[in-house]
């Protein structure tokens, strides 16, 4: 267990989902300024689905993310600005533009079994002089050995850090432990963890990851993230402080900005409700929910049964047509 | 780790704090009925501070708790109704009355270092033919050895179960583990855990307790409890189900009642905000908050510094006069 953890705040990227990608320049400026004051080392700014995510399919951003990145860079003299890039949604050109605007870290995200599509993007990030992170999404969907292989690919492409990403909030502490432990035994680079709170264990999982040697952790102030939100950053800083682990972050300043700047922006608080719990329990992306609800009505089945079956079949984003098949199958039973 | 966990739902006792003790007979009836349908084994019904808690000091109940207990008993043919009793607030007479109305379990709660005041009440509960639980509140305030001694006292008085109670939501998973492990090595009776979510680890702590052999767990649907609320029952049932641990509870029914019956009652969602985080970080009772805020204004100090100092000095309920002393001391520094 390291006595120093380096945090990345994701409220301005993952949290973008929670506010339907409606961040304004003023909001980004005031959030980044206060995070910078609180000495948060990295702040991720992008559409919820990464650079280039603004679209009818993923949700249109209110403001061009490049403008938001520019605003973030302009008010942060301590915090480094990071961007998320999902190859296939974002492009190399997007990455170059973000770099030109002052972004210092590129987080290249792929499904846990598809690390090979990150090669070009990780290499480009390094050529541009950025820190490069490999971000293995839906990590609960692959066996530990596969996760390790995929992480190794990202390390080989030049990633400085590889993250275990629990996109659906479906992992439990003992599962996080075995994943981080296996990576720790195999990789040379730093290991990170990104949790979601759908099963109320974002913090428990984060502590489990740290116990096994993860040193890079994502959090979002006031849980501002997809599903039930992420590991709550200001709470994590308090917990790590109690454990004698340093983050370099000013706890009071972070608590104050969470309460005074972020909470008022939230359209609704990040509770674990029936929907977000179902997503974590089923282990599927939150984007499936609406489709599953529609199919449930059409075939008179419980949408939870659909989502659980989708999770069992390891259906991922892009395979939304399977939702009707699964619903029809359940109705025939 | 047991493959069977017995749950007690505390939304109608600890959750009473979250709604300022304003439960109506109709609300209790509909909540108990739906918990009973979902096969929750035990449901605690009492004022937030236990039997006899309705007072100007602790908050007046809207409806006499005996009426609420009677209503609960009248609609539960599966779930057993439990009551909480803090000696000094509630009396033996209150316990007898609750038993007469059909309560089957008495949970006798004391500060973690004051188990000796539970003797008469635990013995009476047993004489009345009730299950008796020893409930060691603010467990984070005592060293492990003291906790074990105090738990042993309760066991000797006849308690069927002894609970580690993290009243302030101040414990971390590794601290829960060492406490449950030590109790497991010493006690013959079942061990329980009651968590609060102020540091976002209610679920993480609960899983840590179960890993070390706790078999009785408290939860509250939709986190309805003091501070940031308790371990969220419907989420816990889902998590245990994923782990192959049986609770006997119908997950979908519990999710539905949480969403449709409990959520609409909540005056505000159970987020971790600046106040509840401060309480968990400081390790003090939520009742200190108002006093600390007043003292902070009067002496121009940060109320968080007051609360942290109170926690350091292990100040407990009844010692509220210390708050002014601490504030004045901080102002003089």
pLDDT digit string, tens, across residues A64-87 = 999 999 999 999 999 999 999 999
Instruction: Name the packing angle between helices B202-211 and A173-186 (round to 10°).
Output: 80
**What are the phi and psi torsion angles at A113 (to 5°)?**
-100, 5
CA distance B255 to B221: 8
H or E segment at B293? helix B288-299
Chain A residues within an 8 Å CB radius of B281: 238, 241-242
**Angle in degrees, CA B88, B91, B97, rounded to 5:** 155
Is B58 annotated to bind a ligand? Reply is: no
On whether both A307 and A197 belong to a single domain, the answer is no
Write down the ipTM of this complex: 0.95
What is the predicted pLDDT for the residue at A321? 86
Residue A108 lies in a domain: yes
Q: Is the Cβ of B299 closer than 8 Å to some Cβ of chain A?
A: no
Q: Do A239 and B172 touch (CB under 8 A)?
A: yes
| Residue B82: strand pairing partners | B44, B105
Which residues make Cβ contacts (< 8 Å) with residue A119, sequence separation at least 6?
A153, A157
On whether both B141 and B224 belong to a single domain, the answer is yes
On whether both B179 and B327 belong to a single domain, the answer is no
What is the predicted pLDDT for the residue at B282? 97
- Print the domain residue range for B313: 287-332
Residue A251 lies in a domain: yes
Q: What's the CA dihedral at B181, B186, B189, B194 to 10 degrees?
A: -40
On whether both A234 and A305 belong to a single domain, the answer is no
pLDDT exceeds cutoff 90 at A319: no
DSSP E strand boundaries for A64-139: 80-85, 105-111, 131-137
**How far from the centroid of its chain's Cα atoms is residue A175's Cα?**
18
What CATH code is carried by the domain that includes residue B295?
1.10.8.60
Cα separations (Å) of A310 from B149, B181, B256?
50, 39, 21
**Tokens 């039930």 belong to which residue?**
A228
Give the number of domains in chain B. Answer: 2
**Angle in degrees, CA A19, A23, A29, rounded to 5:** 135
**Tokens 């029809």 belong to which residue?**
A328
Is A42 annotated to bind a ligand? Reply is: no
Q: How confident is the model at residue A285 (pLDDT cuts 50, 70, 90)?
A: confident
CA distance A80 to A36: 9
What is the predicted pLDDT for the residue at B43? 98
Residue A1 lies in a domain: no
Three-state SS for B164?
A: strand
Chain B residues within an 8 Å CB radius of A239: 172, 199-201
On whether both A294 and A215 belong to a single domain, the answer is no
- Out of A110-124, A182-196, A230-244, A279-293, pick the least confident: A279-293
What is the predicted pLDDT for the residue at B57? 85
Domain stops at, among A214, A233, A265 = A265
What CATH code is carried by the domain that includes residue B238?
3.20.20.70
CB atoms within 10 A of CB A257: 23
What is the predicted pLDDT for the residue at A57? 85
Residue B267 lies in a domain: no
CA distance B278 to B286: 10
On whether both B252 and B303 belong to a single domain, the answer is no
**What are the phi and psi torsion angles at B82 (to 5°)?**
-110, 155
What is the predicted pLDDT for the residue at B317? 75
Q: Is the Cβ of B280 closer than 8 Å to some Cβ of chain A?
A: yes
Q: Is the Cβ of A258 closer than 8 Å to some Cβ of chain B?
A: yes
What is the predicted pLDDT for the residue at A90? 97
Q: Do A274 and B258 touch (CB under 8 A)?
A: yes
pLDDT exceeds cutoff 80 at A318: no
CA distance B112 to A322: 54
What is the predicted pLDDT for the residue at B319? 81
Instruction: Report the percentage of chain A scoring pLDDT > 90.
Output: 92
Residue A284 lies in a domain: yes
Residue A252 lies in a domain: yes
Is A196 annotated to bind a ligand? Reply is: yes
In chain B (333 residues long), the average pLDDT of successive 10-residue segments reads: 95 94 97 98 97 92 97 98 97 98 98 97 98 98 98 98 97 98 98 98 98 98 94 98 98 98 92 95 91 95 96 86 93 89
On whether both B302 and B254 belong to a single domain, the answer is no
**Tokens 């009925």 belong to which residue?**
B33
On whether both B255 and B291 belong to a single domain, the answer is no
Q: Is the Cβ of A272 closer than 8 Å to some Cβ of chain B?
A: yes
Q: What is the mean pLDDT of residues A237-243?
A: 98
Length of chain B: 333
Q: What is the mean pLDDT of residues A187-211?
A: 98
CB atoms within 10 A of CB B229: 31
On whether both A202 and A133 belong to a single domain, the answer is yes
On whether both A278 and A236 belong to a single domain, the answer is no
**pLDDT, tens digit (0-9, with 9 covering 90-100), for A117-143:** 999 999 999 999 999 999 999 999 999
Residue A257 lies in a domain: yes
On whether both B225 and B294 belong to a single domain, the answer is no
Q: What is the mean pLDDT of residues A254-268?
A: 95
What is the predicted pLDDT for the residue at B287? 84
On whether both A161 and A281 belong to a single domain, the answer is no
Chain A residues within an 8 Å CB radius of B269: 268-269, 271
Structure-block tokens of residue A161 = 């850090």
Residue A171 lies in a domain: yes
CA distance B211 to B188: 17
**Tokens 């339907």 belong to which residue?**
A20
Is B285 annotated to bind a ligand? Reply is: yes
């Amino acid at each position: 267990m390291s006595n120093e953890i380096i945090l990345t705040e994701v409220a301005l990227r993952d949290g973008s989902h929670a506010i339907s990608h409606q961040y304004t320049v003023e909001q980004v400026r005031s959030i980044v300024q206060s995070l910078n004051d609180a000495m948060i080392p990295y702040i991720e700014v992008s559409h919820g689905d990464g650079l280039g995510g603004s679209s009818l399919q993923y949700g249109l951003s209110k403001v061009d993310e490049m403008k938001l990145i520019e605003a973030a860079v302009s008010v942060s003299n301590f915090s480094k600005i990071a961007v998320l890039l999902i190859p296939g949604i974002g492009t190399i050109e997007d990455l170059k533009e973000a770099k030109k605007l002052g972004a210092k870290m590129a987080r290249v995200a792929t499904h846990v079994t598809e690390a090979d599509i990150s090669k070009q993007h990780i290499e480009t990030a390094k050529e541009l002089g950025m820190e490069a992170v490999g971000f293995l999404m839906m990590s609960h969907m692959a066996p530990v050995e596969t996760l390790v292989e995929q992480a190794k690919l990202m390390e080989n492409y030049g990633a400085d850090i590889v993250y275990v990403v629990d996109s659906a909030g479906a992992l439990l502490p003992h599962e996080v432990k075995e994943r981080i432990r296996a990576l720790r035994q195999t990789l040379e680079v730093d290991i990170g963890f990104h949790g979601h709170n759908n099963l109320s264990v974002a913090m428990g999982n984060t502590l489990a990851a740290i116990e096994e040697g993860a040193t890079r952790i994502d959090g979002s102030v006031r849980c501002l993230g997809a599903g039930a939100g992420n590991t709550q950053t200001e709470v994590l800083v308090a917990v790590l402080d109690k454990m004698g682990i340093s983050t370099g972050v000013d706890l009071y300043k972070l608590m104050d900005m969470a309460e005074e700047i972020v909470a008022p922006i939230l359209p609704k608080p990040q509770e674990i409700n029936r929907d977000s719990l179902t997503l974590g329990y089923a282990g599927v992306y939150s984007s499936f929910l609406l489709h599953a609800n529609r199919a449930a009505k059409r075939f008179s089945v419980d949408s939870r049964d659909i989502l659980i079956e989708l999770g069992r079949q390891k259906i991922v984003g892009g395979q939304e047509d399977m939702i009707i098949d699964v619903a029809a199958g359940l109705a025939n039973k």
